[in-house]
Amino acid sequence: MQYVIAGIILILIIFLIGFISRKKYYAEVDRYEAWKIDIMNKPVSDELSKVKQLNMTGQTEELFDGWRQGWDEIVAVQLPDVEELLFDAEEYTDKFRFNKAKEVLARIEEVLSGIEEKIEQILNELHDLVGSEEKNREEIQALQDEYRNSKKQLLAYRHTYGQSAKYIEDILDKLSEQINQFNELTEQGNYLDAREIVLSLAQEMKDIAYKMETIPKLITECEHLLPSQLSELEAGFTEMNDQGYTLDHIQVEKEVASLKEALTAFHKNLEELKVEEVEEGIQDMKVKVETLYDLLEKEVHSRHFVQQYMEQTTEGLIKAKEDNEDIQSEVSMVKQAYHLQDTDLSTPSEIEKKIIQLSKRHELLMTKEESNATAYSILSDELKGIRDGLEELNRDQSEFSIHLQNLRKDELATREKIQELKKKVAEASRMISKSNVPGLPVDYKELLEEVHRKIEQVNAGLTEKPLNMKFVQETLMGAEDTVDHFYTKTQSLIENVILSEKIIQYGNRYRSKYSSVREGLQSAEEAFRQYDYRAALEEAATTIEKVEPGALKKIEKMMGLEER
């Protein structure tokens, strides 16, 4: 029984699969049927009828026959074959012969795809032909107008084209022949070949139009403007030679001769309509002419500069030499009173050497100018170099002179500073005296002696001859640090004295009640009598804090002292 049920289920499954597959193949048959109908409905015949409006001869007739035959074969042979194949595929599907149906459908796919490609090719070629006819008709009119305009322009302004007019005329005649050839091809129905003529004509008309527009301008440049500039350049060169300028390095005559030869070549190129070459050549020539003008103009400016600043530079060198002599005299006097570094002693001599070198260069420059054998541009560059060197050494001499003056200023400033330090030490002594300090600690006395020794060391340095300001200033810095430390220590000492006395007095209220307070205060009093005020303060404060925490802050607040 189980086997029977399994067999029935298997049969049902096979039947279901077959039913689904057959439905799938029916759908494919319907799709190809619709594809075939879509091909049959394509407007190929309508498009072919457009061609009949053209001249049905030559190339057009040949193309039309080929397209019509191709379309007739599709309609009369290939599509009926597809119809039979569709019928076979449907029959195989009815009989569940799916493999055969699949082969037939593949063949239908191949045939229909080929038909689609063939139709697309026919339509593309057809559109190219019809489109070429339309574009030819539109563009040839514009080209003919351009041709007539060019012809008129050549006739009206032939004189402005010189010898190139003949070449232009030959080109226009060839263009006329191409227009006639276009008309013949069009009449013969060869629209695609005519299209190539139109495209060629368009480019050639554009080219000749550009040349006809440009050539008169170039002829004017070559026959009038550039020759005029070259003549002016030669005249200017000759005039400057007569005025005494040395211009051998510019070689104007050689350059002008070369440019005139180039102008002759330009005329020949223009006759042959080599417009681009002439345009580039003229541009290069303008640059060269401008360069020559710039070089001549530079000589004029250079001469003006040399004539304006030569004598001034002579005076500047003389003044620099006088200033150097004054500085050397000043150094001789200063080194008697001050100790100078080796660099300070050598600086005036080094500057003197530079002055001598610049003076020699300047004398040689003056000789060259007098001999009139050197271009002013070269003389000008050399003079500028000398003036730059002079400006630099003048700056060096000025800075060195200020340095010498500062030595005296530094000495005066040091003496003033010593007086300020002495006043600060005296003020500290007055503070001690007013505070009624019982006595001074040993380290404080030693610091005071160190202060006096440091100040005396600075004073001794100021009395030495020659005066070594570097050593004096270093010693002064040490004295300043010592005095500042001494002043701070004085303030601390006075504060410790006052505060320790107050704490001991404050602690007397606990002396009879606590033996530890009595002993601590006695120890603090002993330190106070030994002038060790800091130890006295620490001992008294520690003792009182044990029995009354915060007592020290309380006393400091009462005294208006900040917490240390």
> Per-block average pLDDT, block size 10, for the chain (564 residues)?
57 52 66 72 60 51 60 66 70 67 73 74 64 64 76 78 79 79 70 72 80 82 84 84 81 83 82 82 87 86 89 90 81 63 72 89 88 86 92 87 72 79 86 84 86 84 71 83 88 85 81 81 85 83 80 70 46
Question: Could you tell me if 187 and 278 lie in one domain?
Answer: yes
What values do phi and psi take at 257, rounded to 5? -60, -40
**Domain assignment present for 406:** no
Looking at residue 562, its pLDDT comes to 46
pLDDT given at position 415: 77
Q: Which of 206, 61, 74 is nearest to 146 (CA)?
A: 206
Beta carbons of 368 and 374 less than 8 angstroms apart = yes
Domain count along the chain: 4
Tell me, yes or no, whether 424 lies in a domain.
no
Task: Say whether both 260 and 372 belong to one domain.
Answer: no
Asked if the structure places residue 417 within a domain, the reply is: no
Looking at the structure, tell me whether residues 123 and 192 fall in a common domain.
no
Cα dihedral across residues 202, 208, 212, 215: positive or negative? positive
Q: Would residue 400 count as lying in a domain? A: no
The reply to whether 445 falls in a domain is yes
Q: Domain boundary at 297, 317, 336, which?
A: 297
Domain of residue 246 covers: 149-297
Based on the domain organization, do 290 and 305 belong to the same domain?
no
Task: Using the 3D structure, point to which of 297, 325, 354 is the last residue of a domain.
Answer: 297
Question: Does 425 reside within a domain?
Answer: no
Q: Looking at the structure, do residues 520 and 387 belong to the same domain, yes or no?
A: no
In this structure, are 184 and 308 located in the same domain? no
C-alpha dihedral sign at 161, 164, 170, 176: negative
Q: Report the chain's C-alpha Rg in angstroms.
A: 59
One domain for residues 166 and 241: yes
Among 137, 171, 196, the domain-final residue is 137
Let me know: does 282 contact 265? Beta carbons within 8 Å.
no
* One domain for residues 204 and 117: no
Say yes or no: 244 and 327 in one domain.
Answer: no
Same-domain status, 382 and 453? no
Q: Is residue 409 part of a domain?
A: no
Residue 382: its pLDDT value, please? 92
For position 391, what pLDDT does the model report?
A: 92
Residues 282 and 153 in one domain: yes
**What string of DSSP letters covers 470-487?**
HHHHHHHHHHHHHHHHHH
The answer on 313 and 279 residing in a single domain is no
Q: Is residue 207 part of a domain?
A: yes
